[in-house]
Amino acid sequence: MQASRSTFQHRSRADGCPGPLPRCRPRVQRSRGRNCVVLNAIDDEGTSGKSIDAAGAGATWSSPGWLTQLNMLWSGKGNIPVADAKPDDIKDLLGGALFQALYKWMQESGPVYLLPTGPVSSFLVISDPAAAKHVLRGTDNPQRPLYGKGLVAEVAQFLFGDGFAISGGDAWRVRRKAVAPSLHRAYLETMISRVFAPSAVFLADKLHADPAAGNSTQPQPVNMEAAFSQLTLDVIGKAVFNYDFNALTTDSPLIQAVYTALKETETRATDLLPYWKVPFLCAIVPRQRKAAAAVQLIRDTTTALIKQCKAMVDEEEIAAASAASAEGKEYINAADPSVLRFLIAAREEVDSTQLRDDLLSMLVAGHETTGSALTWTLYLLAQNPDKMAIAQAEVDAVMGARRSPTIADYMALRYVMRCVCESMRLYPHPPVLLRRAFAADTLPGGYKVVKGQDVMISVYNIHRSKAVWDSPEAFLPERFGPLDGPVPSEQNTDFRYIPFSGGPRKCVGDQFALMEAVVSLAVLLREFDLSLVPNQTIGMTTGATIHTTNGLYMYARARIAAAKSVALVAT
Ligand code: HEM
C-alpha cells in the first residue's frame, strides 16, 4: 500500500531518580509595580512564608482591583498571591495556550497563586511539587478524601459517560480495581510482540514505500505528528478492543468520530461560556450535534464489539480465568489478549454500558497522550543531533538486525527510555491536572484552600521551574542519573516529575505507554534518519495534550546502518 503525503496529515484532529535530585532554591523577593508580592525562601519541605499586598494585588487598568478584591474576599483566600491576569491574557489562555500563560504568572506570582476567572470564580494554580503531592495524594483517597476531578469530569462526561477516568469516590474505586489488573505484566509483554512492534514496523514500511517520506530524489515532508496520532489509535484499538482502526491506512467515519469527540472534549475544557451544559442548546448548535453524533457512533461500535466478544467467551474460558486468578496467575487469551476479553472472561464486565464507558476511557486516555509523547520526543531528538546519535547507537547495538524489538530489547533500550521521559518532562500530557476541593484544606506552605475551589496543578510549570530542576529548558536525557538506575517517577523524584500524575488517580496505563513509545521509537530510529524540515515554526497549543500548532514535518531517509545490518543477516 502506497502512502500518500495526505496519509500523514491530521484529520480534523485533534488539529482538530534517582540520581542527583534537583534541589529547591531560595525564591527571589520581587515586586511588580503596584502589586507587591513577597515570597520568602522555600525549604526542602516546601514550606514558605509569604505575604501579599492585598489592597493592590491585580489592580491594573485591565484587571481591576474589584475583581481581585472579590476573589480574595470570597471565602477568605487572603494569603494567596493573585496573578496579574489581564482579560486579554485570559482570553488567550482559554483559547488553548493556557499552560504557557500559567508559566508566566508563576514567574511573577510564585509557585501557588490564584487566577481570577470571574468576579467570584478562580483557579488555584499550583506549580510546587510539595503542594502538588498533597493534592494528588488527597484525590479520591479513602483516608483523606479532600479533592475530586471537578471540571474535567464535567467537560468529558458527554464522551466518557460513567467511565472510571472521570468518575469519583466509590464508583471510581470499584471500577479501577476491576480494570487495572487487565494491564498485567504478561499482557504488556504480549502487546510488544503482538501490537506495539508490528504496528511500528507497519508505519516504517509505509515510510519506506512513500515517495513523500523523503526517500526519492525530491524529498517531501511527512507530518510525523499525524503519523503518530494514527499509529497510537491503531495500537490502542487493538490493545483495548482487539479492533483494528486501520488509521494508518484508511479514513473511516469511526476514525473521524474519534477525532471529533476528542476535539470537542478539548474545546469544552477551554470554553469561556459552557453553553453545552444546556440540553436545549446542545440540540440545536451544529458543533454539538456533530459531537453527539460522533459519540453515538463510537458508543454503538463499542457496544457491538462488547456483544461480539461476549459471544466468544464460553464457560470453559471463564473457568480458566477464574482458576488463574485463584492461583494468583495472570490470565490471557492467546487468540485475543485485549483488555475487553480479559474483563469479560474475568466476569468484571458489570453492565455493558459501564464496560463501554470504561473501555472508552482507556481508548481516549491512551491515544493522543502517547501520540504526543512520541511527537515531542522525536522533535527533541531531531533538534539535538548528539542525543539522536546516542539513541541510534543504542538501538543498533541492542537490536542488531531485528526489526521488531523484543521484551529483552525493550528492557535494554535505556537511553531511548530516558529520551521519552525527558521529553515528557518538557512536554507533559496533559500539561495541567484539574481538581476541585471537597473540603477546606491547607497546602504545604500554609496556603488556605476553600471548599469548592477549582485547582490546576501545572505539571508544565513544575517540570520547567528553575526552583525544581537545573537547566530546566535543556533536553538532557542523562539528567535522571545512571542508565542502570530506576526509570524516573513521581515516587523517586518526590513529585518533581509527574507526567503520569500521582496518588490514587495516577495513570493506569503508564507502563503500557512507556513500552509503546520506546518500541515505536526504536523501530523508527533504527531504520530512518529523521530530520526536521527547515524553516518551520513548531509552536505549542493544547487541549488534552500539547500539540504542535502546524504539525511536525520531517524527512525520513532510510538509514544505511540499518540496511547494512539487514544485509549482513541475509548473507
Ligand atoms: C504517554 C502516555 C500517557 C500519559 C502522559 C498519560 C498521562 C496520564 C495522566 C497525567 C493521568 C492522570 C490524570 C489526572 O490525574 O487527572 C492519566 C490517567 C489515566 N490514564 Fe494515562 N497517560 C498515558 C497513556 C495512557 C495509556 C496508554 C492508557 C491506557 C492503556 C491510559 C489510561 C489512563 C486512564 C484509564 C486514566 C484514568 C485513571 C483513573 O482516573 O483512575 N493512559 N494518564
- Please give the pLDDT value at position 1: 31
Which residue's C-alpha comes closest to atom 35 of ligand 1?
A: 362
Between the alpha carbon of residue 480 and those of residues 76, 152, 237, 329, 411, the distances in Å are: 41, 31, 32, 34, 17
Residue 178 lies in a domain: yes
Angle at 62 between CA 60 and CA 66, to 5 degrees: 70
Residue 331 lies in a domain: yes
Residue with more model confidence, 288 or 419 = 419
Q: Please tell me whether 24 is known to bind a ligand.
A: no
Residue 244 is placed in which grid cell? 483494528
- Examine the pLDDT at 4 and tell me if it is beyond 50: no
- Count Cα neighbours of 538 within 13 Å in the Cβ-side half-sphere: 20
Residue 564 lies in a domain: yes
> What distance in angstroms lies between residue 326's CA and the mean position of ligand 1's atoms?
28
- Please give the pLDDT value at position 568: 45
Q: Give the residue-averaged pLDDT of 214-233.
A: 83
Which residue's C-alpha comes closest to atom 11 of ligand 1?
A: 507
Residue 176 lies in a domain: yes
- Examine the pLDDT at 171 and tell me if it is beyond 80: yes
Name the percent of the chain in helix, strand, coil, to the closest 5: 50, 10, 35
Structural domain count of the chain:
1
Does residue 132's CB lie within 6 angstroms of at least one atom of ligand 1?
no
* Ligand 1 pocket mutation, candidates 162, 177, 369, 520, criterion most atoms within 8 A of CB: 369
Q: Give the residue-averaged pLDDT of 454-476.
A: 97
Residue with more model confidence, 56 or 358 = 358
Does residue 429's CB lie within 6 angstroms of at least one atom of ligand 1?
yes
- In single-letter form, the type of residue at position 372 comes to S
Which residue's C-alpha comes closest to atom 25 of ligand 1?
A: 366
Which residue's C-alpha comes closest to atom 16 of ligand 1?
A: 433
Q: pTM for the whole thing? A: 0.86
For all residues of the chain together, what is the average pLDDT? 82
Residue 126 lies in a domain: no
> What distance in angstroms lies between residue 243's CA and the mean position of ligand 1's atoms?
20
Q: Give the residue-averaged pLDDT of 75-89.
A: 70
Bridge partners (DSSP) of residue 139 are 147
Give the model confidence (pLDDT) of 505-532 as tens digits.
999 999 999 999 999 999 999 999 999 9
The CATH number of the domain holding residue 289 is 1.10.630.10
* Ligand 1 pocket mutation, candidates 422, 424, 507, 546, criterion most atoms within 8 A of CB: 507
Does residue 235's CB lie within 6 angstroms of at least one atom of ligand 1?
no
Residue 489 lies in a domain: yes
Q: Quick one: which atom of ligand 1 is closest to the CA of 516?
A: 27
Residue 12 lies in a domain: no
- Which of 123, 126, 135, 110 lies closest to 71 in space, CA to CA? 123
Q: Quick one: which atom of ligand 1 is closest to the CA of 339?
A: 30
Give the model confidence (pLDDT) of 253-265 as tens digits.
888 898 888 888 7
Residue 349 lies in a domain: yes
Does residue 499's CB lie within 6 angstroms of at least one atom of ligand 1?
yes
Does residue 176's CB lie within 6 angstroms of at least one atom of ligand 1?
yes
ipTM of this complex: 0.99
- Please give the pLDDT value at position 50: 31
> What distance in angstroms lies between residue 11's CA and the mean position of ligand 1's atoms?
23
Residue 219 is placed in which grid cell? 524529498
> What distance in angstroms lies between residue 366's CA and the mean position of ligand 1's atoms?
6
Domain span including residue 525: 169-432+466-570
- Please give the pLDDT value at position 541: 83
Give the model confidence (pLDDT) of 9-62 as tens digits.
433 333 323 232 232 332 323 333 222 222 222 233 333 323 222 223 333 333
DSSP assignment of 233-273 equals: HHHHHHHHHS----TTT---HHHHHHHHHHHHHHHHHT-SS
Does residue 365's CB lie within 6 angstroms of at least one atom of ligand 1?
yes
